[in-house]
Structure formats: C-alpha cells, structure tokens
C-alpha cells in the first residue's frame, strides 16, 4: 500500500470569544475521521471547544519570494497607526 491518506490542517478555538488557531496536522480519509482524530489528538487536555479541519491541499499560501511586494509597501504608511498623530496630552481622544 502506497496510497497517501490526505493531510489535514487542524485549527482550534481554545475558548469562546477567541479565534481558531492552527495547531498542527494529521492524516485521515474523510472529514468526519479528520474531525475525530483532531479531537483525540489535539484536545486531550481541554485545549479546544471548536475544531476546524481543512485539507492541506486546499490552503493557498503566500510565497516568501512575493514577500517584499506583498508586505513591504505597508511599511511607510505609518499614518494608519494612532501613535502617528500629535494630540494634546491632557485630552482623552
């Protein structure tokens, strides 16, 4: 047998009010099985109250080579941050 079971990426919401966060991956044949293994492997210590499983192949990722074009142009736009502006110290804004 040399068939590869699909790889799934696992995301957990650790508690209500928080976003799902990537925690790792696993192999499973179908979404239901991936969900159960995610529960068994990644929530042994009550780490989560909600699980997402996503086929790893379905994730599109930005590439390092594109990094400069993607992310550097934001560098000089400091006016998007509140700290950029001068306001009187004694006022609450």
Partner 1 sequence: MEISSLEESRREAIFQARVDAEEKIEPKDWMPEAYRKNLIRQISQHGHSEVVGQLPEGNWITRAPTLRRKAVLLAKVQDEAGHGLYLYSATETLGIAREELMEQLLTGKAKYASIFNYPTLSWADVGAIGWLVDGAAIVNQISLCRTSYGPYARAMVRICKEESFHMRQGYEIMTVLARGSQEQKAMAQDALNRWWWPTLMMFGPHDADSAHSGSSMKWKIKRQSNDELRQKFVDQSVAQAQHLNLKIPDEKLKWNDERGHYDFGEIDWDEFTAVLGGAGPCNHERLEARRIAHEQGDWVRDAMFAHAEKQRQRDVRKTA
Partner 2 sequence: MKNSVTCAPQSWHFEYVLRLGDNALILGQRISEWCGHSPFVEEDVAMANTALDHIGRARMLLTHAGNLQGNKQTEDDLAYSRNEREFKNFLLCELPIGDFAYTIVRQVLLDTYHFHLYAALQKSSDDTLAAIAAKVVKESTYHLRHSSEWLIRLGDGTEESQRRAQLALDNQWRFTSEFFLADEVDDVAHQAGVGVDVSLLEKLWRDNVNDILSAACLLRPEDAPLRASGRMGLHTEHMGFLLAEMQSVQRAYPGLDW
Give the nearest distance from C-beta 27 to partner 2 in angstroms: 6
Residue 55 in contact with partner 1, rule: CB under 8 A: no
What residues numbered 69-88 form the site for partner 1, per CB under 8 A? Answer: none
Give the nearest distance from C-beta 23 to partner 1 in angstroms: 8
- Read off the DSSP letter of residue 45: T
- CA distances 77 to 39, 74, 82, Å, are 42, 5, 12
For 32, the 3-state DSSP assignment is: helix
Which of 44/77 has CB closer to partner 1? 44
Residue 16 in contact with partner 1, rule: CB under 8 A: no
- Contact between 53 and 10 under an 8 Å Cβ cutoff? The reply is yes
């Amino acid at each position: 047998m040399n068939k590869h079971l699909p790889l799934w990426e696992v995301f957990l919401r650790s508690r209500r009010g928080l976003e799902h966060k990537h925690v790792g991956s696993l192999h499973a044949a179908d979404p239901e099985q991936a969900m159960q293994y995610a529960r068994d492997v990644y929530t042994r210590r009550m780490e989560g109250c909600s699980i997402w499983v996503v086929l790893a192949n379905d994730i599109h990722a930005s590439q390092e080579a594109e990094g400069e074009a993607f992310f550097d142009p934001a560098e000089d736009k400091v006016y998007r941050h509140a700290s950029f502006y001068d306001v009187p110290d004694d006022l609450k804004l």
